[in-house]
Amino acid sequence: MAEKNSDFLRGVIIGGVIGAVIGILFAPKSGRETREDIVRKTDEIVKKAKDEYEGALEKSKVVYESAIRKAKEIQLMAREKVEDVEDVVSDLAEKGRETLQENKTRLKKALDAGIGAFKEESDKTGA
């Protein structure tokens, strides 16, 4: 975008200078007056181009700052989402540990009951 602005400003300056010079050269004035008019017109065109450039620069600055602000907002939202996901993963991991522990306890009880039943049956048949 800066390149387009630069090209535009260059075109404004060159076109303005050429137009002013042609207009001044064809005006019925002395050489000194013509030179003074050329200098004056050139100064006016350069000032106008400078003003246009500063305006474009200010607009670019506003757009840049807006983009930075939006990027920071997106970064903050992403961090919040990551924290939310971490919380969910942590909760799921804890629930998984609890479920595993419960299943281990049930399995141990079932094994103990099975061993007890086997011993009891063995005592009945062996005795």
Confidence of residue 70 (pLDDT cuts 50, 70, 90): very high
- Tell me which residue range forms the domain holding 6: 2-126
**Angle, vertex CA 12, rays to CA 9 and CA 15, nearest 5:** 145
Distance CA 108, CA 75 (A): 49
Other CB atoms closer than 10 Å to residue 113's CB: what's the count?
10
pLDDT of residue 122: 82
Q: Residue 73 has what pLDDT?
A: 95
pLDDT at 24 (0 to 100): 67
32-57, pLDDT tens digit by residue? 777 787 788 888 888 888 888 888 88
What is the domain count for the chain? 1
